């Protein structure tokens, strides 16, 4: 804020007036008040000096030779390099329309000739204070915008980190399908939703046949690769947005099929059963095939108050047990058993 002689020492004032006497008097007075003063006797030279020196303020006479003060002001405000410089008109004109025209062109004030020096100093200091406050507000706004941008970036990073954390919490690290925690949450949510809608919910449990023997013979790295391939196959086959494929246990996978009746679930199980066999992963220690196969159990219920998620899981588990007991490499729904299609 400029409110003293010491504070005005760095302020440069450009005085544009065609009267040498007026220029001299203004320069002597303002320099005595510790301003740096530049002078110009016409509009063209005033424009050049303003563009070159970038003063903090311009005192501009209205009546000038060549282009007048109004045109000079218009050109100053049209130039990005000088448009922010405050302009005070100095004039003997007292017509209101002339003053209105000056304000419309962008001047900040008028001072009437003959000029009273104390009034001139007061007006200059007032507008320099306004200019300083404006610059301060602009800097604060720029800082706030920068902080807002940084905050937005930080929030985006935090949201991304949260999404990644949520993904890691819900995804099985080896197979990259949902883990048991995610399975439990998703099944409960779908059970509640379909209980309200009274629509069917199917569950398929899939167990790789003789996987322990596979691991013992081929090694755990091969076993991990086998699990990955099967998990990704099942994920490709159960691809509706609401379907969920999860690693249910060591070599067990589960498929949640909302809004799917028993026939639809059997079709998915059939595709999984045959798809695993068609992967042609060698299994020298299998008792049912020369390649890796799987057994699947299916259950389907319309959720209601008399049943529960646990009953749906138990039914699928019983079906899986029966499928394994009756030869493996097949899929079972309740009391019906189906061989895996070749």
- Please, are residues 190 and 201 in contact by the beta-carbon 8 Å criterion? yes
Separation between Cα atoms, residue 26 and residue 37, nearest integer Å: 9
Level-2 CATH architecture, domain 12-139: 3-Layer(aba) Sandwich (3.40)
Exactly one of 28, 71, 104, 251 is catalytic; which is it? 251
What's the average model confidence in pLDDT over 78-104?
87
pLDDT of 3 above 70: no
Looking at residue 339, its pLDDT comes to 56
| CATH 3.30.70.270-classified regions of the chain | 180-339
Percent over 90 (pLDDT), the chain: 75
State if pTM tops 0.85: no
With H, G, I as helix, E, B as strand and everything else as coil, classify residue 311: helix
3-state secondary structure of 20: helix
Neighbours of 6 (CB within 10 A): 9
Q: What is the pLDDT averaged over residues 288-315?
A: 93
DSSP letters for 176-196 = -SB-HHHHHHHHHHHHHHHHH
Q: Give the DSSP letter of residue 147.
A: H
Q: What separation in angstroms does the CA of 132 have from each of 7, 57, 276?
A: 11, 12, 76
Give catalytic status of residue 251 as yes or no: yes
CATH for 180-339 is 3.30.70.270
pLDDT at 10 over 90: no
- Weakest mean pLDDT among 30-44, 142-156, 164-178, 189-203: 164-178
Q: What is the pLDDT of residues 138-159, one digit of tens each?
A: 899 999 999 999 999 999 988 8
Comparing C-alpha atoms, which of 54, 52, 45, 65 is closest to residue 13?
A: 54
Give span(s): CATH 3.40.50.2300, the chain. Answer: 12-139
- For tokens 């030869």, the residue is 327
Segment 1-14 mean pLDDT = 60
pLDDT band at residue 131, thresholds of 50, 70 and 90? confident
Give the Cα separation of 306 and 315 in Å (integer).
15
- Burial 38-77, CB ≥16 within 10 A → b, else e: bbbbbbeebbebbeeeebbbbbbbbebeebbbbebbebbb
Q: Which residue has the tokens 């391939």?
A: 229
Residue 231, both tokens? 């998990």
Cα(330)–Cα(320) distance, rounded to whole angstroms?
A: 9
Q: What is the mean pLDDT of the chain?
A: 90
Name, in order, each residue with C-beta under 8 angstroms of 179's C-beta and a sequence gap of 6 or more: 170, 171, 172, 246, 247
């Amino acid at each position: 804020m400029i409110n003293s002689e010491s504070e005005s020492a760095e302020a440069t004032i450009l005085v544009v007036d065609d009267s040498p006497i007026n220029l001299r008097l203004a320069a002597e007075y303002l320099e005595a008040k510790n301003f740096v003063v530049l002078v110009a006797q016409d509009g063209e030279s005033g424009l050049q000096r303003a563009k070159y020196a970038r003063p903090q303020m311009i005192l501009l006479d209205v009546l000038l030779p060549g282009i007048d003060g109004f045109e000079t002001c218009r050109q100053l405000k049209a130039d990005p390099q000088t448009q922010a410089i405050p302009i005070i008109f100095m004039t003997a004109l007292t017509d209101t329309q002339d003053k209105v025209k000056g304000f419309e062109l962008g001047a900040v004030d008028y001072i009437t000739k003959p000029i009273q020096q104390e009034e001139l100093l007061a007006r200059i200091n007032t507008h320099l204070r306004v200019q300083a406050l404006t610059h301060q507000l602009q800097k604060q706004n720029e800082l706030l915008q920068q902080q807002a941008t940084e905050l937005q970036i930080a929030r985006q990073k935090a949201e991304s980190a949260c999404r990644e954390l949520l993904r890691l919490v819900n995804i099985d690290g080896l197979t990259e399908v949902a883990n048991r925690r995610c399975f439990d949450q998703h099944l409960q949510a779908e059970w509640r939703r379909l209980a309200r809608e009274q629509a069917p919910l199917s569950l398929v449990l899939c167990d790789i046949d003789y996987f322990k023997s596979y691991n013992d013979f081929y090694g755990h790295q091969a076993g991990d690769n086998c699990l990955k391939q099967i998990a990704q196959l099942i994920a490709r086959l159960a691809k509706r947005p609401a379907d969920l494929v999860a690693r249910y246990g060591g070599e067990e996978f589960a498929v949640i099929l909302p809004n799917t009746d028993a026939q639809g679930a059997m079709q998915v199980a059939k595709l999984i059963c045959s798809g695993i066999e068609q992967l042609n992963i060698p299994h020298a220690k299998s008792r049912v095939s020369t390649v890796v196969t799987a057994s699947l159990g299916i259950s389907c219920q319309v959720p209601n108050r008399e049943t529960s998620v646990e009953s749906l899981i138990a039914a699928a588990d019983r079906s899986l047990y029966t499928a394994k007991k009756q030869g493996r490499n097949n899929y079972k729904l309740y009391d019906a058993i189906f061989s895996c299609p070749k």
